[in-house]
Structure 1
Amino acid sequence: FGKAGLMSATVFEGIIKAIIQQQISLRNAELITANLVENYGERIEFCGEYAYEFPTPETLTGLSLKELRNCGLSWKKAEYIKGFSSEVINGFDPENLKDKNPEEIIETLTTFKGIGRWTAELVMIASIGMNVIPADDLGVRKAISHFYFKDKLQPAEKVREFCRE
């Protein structure tokens, strides 16, 4: 675990990180993720240095909501993470998302509680390496509106259309 790259090691890890990042600053999301990984990820030694693996679905499912809350998560995010981890244990393989197109990924991921379009798009960018625009993100809409629409805030669908051109 670290800041070596933007891509998550696994799609599962990317989905959990995307849930954590919902509606909070990136800095807070990084702190919560670090707490989660350092408290519940397996500690490994490499060349005299220590690092932590991202917690497994089994580990996350086995944690209480209070343990997850102690990492800085809200009750709802703790529930979403436990619920999604349980789905993975029960047979859903997030790595199979790599074989789908963006709309199929959104359709699949939004069936899980706590995962909406924004989260699915973040997963596509940071875990699968797809070139999509998270147009529901207000910051993205404001930036595109500023540079291309004379500061007139554009709706998400208009931003998506603009970015496809």
Structure 2
Amino acid sequence: MLKETSIHKNQIILQTGYFDLKQTFECGQCFRWNEVEQGHYIGLVKDKVLEMYQVGQEISFYNTDEKDFKDIWVDYFDLNRNYEELIEEISKEKIMKAATEYGKGIRILCQDEWETLISFIISANNNIPRIKKILERFSKLFGQKMCYKGEEYYTFPTPESLQGITEKDLEEIKSGYRAKYIIDAVQKVNESQVDLYNLKNLETGEARKELLKIKGIGPKVADCILLFSMRKYSCYPIDVWIRKVTEKLYFKRECTPKEIQKFAEDMWKDNAGFAQQYLFYYARNQL
């Protein structure tokens, strides 16, 4: 939750608790923020290059102004949510208390639906360094170049700009078998077979069904898209890792994804997505 903001020319300084850049950018929800040095990140969101630097609870935003901060970044970084209250609400037992204490600086971003969709299609059976490289090649090949401090950055290509793309066109990004899934997504979104930017207005189950129409999107990828770009916070994305962690820490036995989903809904209700992120980050780094 916003504590105190000071405005300077081309810089905004935010005093806030429960926000850690490293935890937020490196918890697996986004792939186009890069650490320049410790506590110092640069990322590109739509056509905005943002530079951020953190010391303690002070976070500096560079290359922005008051209008963009209020219109874009407050929403993108979920700055109006009281994460202290959220953590207190979901930390009813010792496992989640340990997870939230370890990763309390994580904030769930509100990313662009299209970029998130393509990012998580590429993420399937992949690792974060390789995902980042594929997305950077994809943006450099098909996006628009921007310059900041003498460095080149590239916007994420829109579905409209990718109309008619072929697997041959995608060879350079080295996405492998996922190329055909990217092409299917381009086609279905451009032809309004999936009304991507309206899905956030649907009930979560209906929005999930629409996403599953696109090749390469299964339940886990769909839930990641819903959680990280559409504010569907009841989603609890279940991959191999989170399944093993939930089984080990809570069930003490093997169980089905359906059992895990029901458990998350009962335990954390509309905040299951937040719980998943804390649990994922904690288990990946501490267990």
| TM-score, normalised via structure 1 length | 0.86
1:2 aligned to 2:32? yes
Structure 1 residue 8: deviation in Å? 6.2
Equivalent position of 2:11 in the other structure? none
- 1:141 pairs, out of 230, 243, 254, with 243
Alignment of 1:1-165 (within 5 A): 2-3=32-33, 4=43, 7=109, 9-46=111-148, 49-75=151-177, 77-91=178-192, 92-131=194-233, 132-135=235-238, 137-150=239-252, 152-165=253-266
Which structure carries more relative contact order (alpha carbon 8 Å, separation 6+)?
A: 1
Structure 2 gap segments, 5+ residues each: 1-30, 34-42, 44-76, 78-107, 267-287
Aligned Cα root-mean-square deviation (Å): 2.1
Q: Are the structure 2 counterparts of residues 7 and 60 from structure 1 closer, same or farther at C-alpha, using a change threshold of 3 Å?
A: farther
Structure 1 residue 128: deviation in Å? 1.3
Greater Rg, structure 1 or structure 2? 2
Q: Is the 8 A contact 1:60 1:81 kept in 2?
A: no
Q: Is the 8 A contact 1:10 1:95 kept in 2?
A: no
Greater helix content:
1
Q: Detail structure 1 runs of 4+ shifted over 6 Å in the superposition.
A: none
Structure 1 residue 157: deviation in Å? 0.8
Paired residue type of 2:32: G
Q: Is the 8 A contact 2:139 2:154 kept in 1?
A: yes
Q: Percent identity?
A: 27
